[in-house]
Amino acid sequence: EIVLTQSPGTLSLSPGERATLSCRASQSVSSSYLAWYQQKPGQALRLLIYGASRRATGIPDRFSGSGSGTDFTLTISRLEPEDFAVYYCQQYGSSPRVTFGPGAKVDFK
Amino acid sequence: QVQLEESGGGLVKPGGSLRLSCAASGFTFSDYYMSWIRQAPGKGLEWIAFTSSTGSTIYYADSVKGRFTISRDNAKNSLHLQMNSLRAEDTAVYYCARDPGMVAAPYYFDYWGQGTLVTVSS
């Protein structure tokens, strides 16, 4: 099973700042099959990025994904108030054994 | 728009059973693979079950294999999860999610429901 580690666990920032979240895999994720999700209390999870760098439908371009192999990054170029949330990475390269990272919280400084 | 709505959660004793349902709307349900994913209180996400569009291919996480059964009714646009022999560690919010994958195996999930809480406690 591929284990995903996310860092930092919590990122304290202000609106307008840049957020960089890391997701590291215990072994190479084939075909860059990595997705990112946003979770906010009381709301359905939202797909942000799939295929490591492809934005999902309706996702603003301030969200970008990059990386390959074992190291992946989600970047939010300028934080909006609605971006303060928990973010999860997920690998599907070893399907059916898909796995999620433990999550990373972006909160207000 | 795509909507997924889970139901059927509640409090159940260890060893008991529960059946979750997910009502789908806003898309052609029979065209899509579907999965159940859960999240224990204060914890991360765990994929637990997958079904292909026809139900002919099914996968389970080891943690639920032999106890949980995923099924779907394409005529009623619904997904189900029959949970038997429940344990305290099955306590979680259970989400249904749509899978846009091209091959019959879990992929990523482009739409999620808001979840239903299952609590296993005596």
Q: What is the pLDDT along chain B (122 residues), one digit of tens a residue?
A: 999 999 999 999 999 999 999 999 999 999 999 999 999 998 999 999 999 999 999 999 999 999 999 999 999 999 999 999 999 999 999 999 999 988 888 999 999 999 999 999 99
Closest-CA residue to A62 (of A82, A41, A33): A82
B112 with A35: Cβ contact below 8 A: no
Q: Six-digit token pair at B43?
A: 């914890």
CA torsion angle B109 B110 B114 B117 (round to 10):
-10
Q: How far are the Cα atoms of A6, A75, B22, B109 from residue B43, in angstroms, in the given order?
A: 14, 23, 22, 19
Closest-CA residue to A72 (of A41, A19, A32): A32
Which of A95, A99, A100, A105 should be substituted to probe chain B, the one whose Cβ sees the most B Cβ atoms within 10 Å? A95
pLDDT at B101: 86
Q: Six-digit token pair at B2?
A: 């795509």
Locus of tokens 């059964």:
B69
Which of B45, B46, B111 should be substituted to probe chain A, the one whose Cβ sees the most A Cβ atoms within 10 Å? B45
pLDDT over threshold 90, residue A95: no
pLDDT at B70: 98
pLDDT at A51: 95
- DSSP category for residue A81: G
Separation CA A66–CA B71 (nearest Å): 36
> Do the strands A86-91 and A99-100 form a parallel or antiparallel pair, or are they unpaired?
antiparallel
Q: What are phi and psi of A95, to 5 degrees?
A: -55, 140
Closest CB to B45 among A44, A46, A88 = A88
Contact, B48 vs B65, CB < 8 A? Answer: no
Contact, A60 vs A43, CB < 8 A? Answer: no
Measure A87 CA to nearest chain B CA, in Å.
Answer: 10
